[in-house]
Amino acid sequence: MTPPPRGPLDGIRVIDLTTVMLGPFCTMILGEMGADVIKVEPPGGDIGRWTGVTRTPGMSAAYMMKGRNKRSVVLDLKRPEAREPLRRLVESADVFVHNMRPKAAAQLAIDYETIVAWKPDIVYAATTGYGEAGPYVDRPAYDDLIQGASGLAALNGEVTGTPRYGPSVLADKTTGLFLTYAIAMALFHRERTGEGQRLHVPMYEAFTAFLINEHMQGRAYEPPLGPAGYRRVLSPSRRPYRTADGHVCALPYNDRHWRRFFEVVGRPELADDARFADQAARSRNIDSLYAIVDEIMPSRSTAEWLQALEAADIPVMPMNTPEDLFDCPHLSAVGMFPEVEHPSEGRLRHLKVPVNFSRTPGGYYHHAEQLGQSTDAVLAELGYAAAEIAGLRAAGATGSAGIAAGDIAEPAIDDAQARSLPSALDRLDDFRARLAGRRPAVFLDYDGTLTPIVARPELATFGDEMRASVDRLAALCPVAVISGRGLADVRRLVGLERIHYAGSHGYEICGPDGVEHVLPEAIRFPAVIEAASAELQSALDSIDGALVEAKRYSVAVHYRLVVDADRPKLDAAVDRALTQHPDLRKTLGKMVYELRPALAWDKGKAVRWMMAKMGLDAHAALPIYIGDDVTDEDAFRALADDGMGILVGAPGDATAARYALADPKAVEGFLDGLAALLRQRDERAHGSPGTGSN
């Protein structure tokens, strides 16, 4: 991606502690305008990472929009060890922005008095639900609440008969714009005077000011000359007009527009009607006027109205759906939806900056990052050495502590470290012994380990460091990444050339040569599975013909083996079966428990098939499974129990695994430690660095 020229805020650093929409929308704009935005996130990340459509856990479409042009740093501000990194960040910054209520900000010691003591000329921006002088100051606030409290829902109800919120987070984004211009004004003041300052933008007041501006009407006077509410926009007929084949948006507004409109529609006499003669008269009779237009518009097609009204220079536009916008000729011409290639998310569509500067245009400089992707880089910029960064991580200041790189190969640690590290370190001698004379093959669970989604989705990450760790290990032994995704998808997300990929939980596999293999049918559907499937179908068919969606139960772990052909029927009957027969849970649980040994045996055959396709001798190789999903671990556990393999647990299965890892950073450390161990072994055996291939 070739970055555009830097925007007008080039050189400004923003420390962004905001979450959800309001604050991130503001800092998104600051980033587009060239500011260096450092997004400080808690270990769980911004909740917006998990909202809406997503390809990868923690990288939702909503977050991809708001997270662009920002660097993600994880700091657990509840830990005292995070105070010094935060102080250094503040000292390097021009703007500090958060959206925490006053009491919460004080508890985390990010109140204005603390921050300004660290950086006297800082622009400290806080945005909360309500102004600090009012009784609502400590209440939580969300967009729906503010739309309702400000009067918007009631205004919609006055028109439609039913109060409702607008179908967009209007209060959040509007207040975000208020916050953006307030920060820009404070920076301008600092540029002229050298003075920083504190500013506060409350949602309730900001959106009320935005909404009531035109709705003040009679309440602008004291005593009032009438109620609040702008009649034109509250007219029931103020809506897209129905045409002969659809809808059109037309708005004659001034005297000239209306005279031309009456001529176009063949009703020139209406121009002389006293009710519509001028702006004041039309305002008093707006419902009658709009009702007449409403009656006229169905007489022509949408295309005919667009042509006729455009020719008369009367404001008109087609009524688009959100989907229509992507094919709009004007938006296409101005490049409204540029496409970019994201390193982990593939091809993405974004929004252009909707303002134009002749000299400092701003734009898209930096992809939205995985959670904590820039933590180490930013800490290094602040003067932290690698050992100090590792210490912060071990203390939990930058997220969960885990095994650092090299801990497995170099287990010399002090007592305090030993108490904080998982049990994998206690079994190093056993680990080395089992490697002796055997060729390791590493199977990595992409969905639950490289980007865990089962127990702790806040830890999801697959950045450059993890990719480098996997690639380094692949130079020393065969590595396969297993995913529930299809082959093409997981290959695109991981993007390494010398490893194997196993898609659909191992039912398809391909190597570096790109040749794909599908699990043989003899393994996919053994007789015992077919018999169990028939029994299950029979049991469910006997209950009013209802089928249950297997994915919601432990049957799900064998879904592809058992009921592939019946998926549409199963999916269609989920709620009916559960609602009518809640006791199905126990019945299915018992059946699956009894079937598990047979199913695990079958999965074991699938693993051996994968190893054969990787060119491995099952008796000479040592498969090492790193994952958190019992679905896949069943097969590997069978191998581990008979001494043929090793399980390394990730967050979701710390109790079942023989070795335990805490989070993706620990997985990185484990992979690097294993690579170091293999190099040491090869050097001892051959007197030179080891090599490996897939």
- The dihedral built from the CA positions of residue 301, 306, 312 and 316, taken in this order, carries a sign that is positive
Structure tokens at 286: 């707006």
What are the helix (H) ranges across 194-337?
203-215, 231-234, 255-264, 279-284, 286-296, 302-311, 329-333
Phi first, then psi: give them for residue 475, nearest 5 degrees. Answer: -75, -15
DSSP H or E segment with residue 488: helix 487-494
292/306 Cα distance (integer angstroms): 19
Residue 16 catalytic?
no
Report the C-alpha gap between 41 and 46 in whole angstroms. 6
Question: Closest Cα partner for 410 from 427, 425, 389?
Answer: 425
HSE-CB at 686 with a 13 A cutoff on CA atoms is 10
Ramachandran angles phi, psi of 321, nearest 5°: -90, 165
Residue 469 φ/ψ, nearest 5 degrees: -65, -45
Phi, psi (degrees; rounded to nearest 5) at 97: -135, 135
Tell me whether the omega of the peptide bond preceding residue 478 falls within 30 degrees of 0, making it cis. no
For 121, other C-beta atoms within 10 Å of its C-beta total 12
Report how far residue 110's alpha carbon sits from residue 208's, in angstroms, rounded to the nearest whole number: 28
**Catalytic annotation, pick one of 36, 172, 376, 663:** 172
Angle of CA points 195, 110, 393, to nearest 5°: 120
Phi, psi of 95 (to 5 degrees): -135, 140
Give Cβ neighbours of residue 284 (< 8 Å, ≥ 6 apart): 275
Active-site amino acid positions: 172
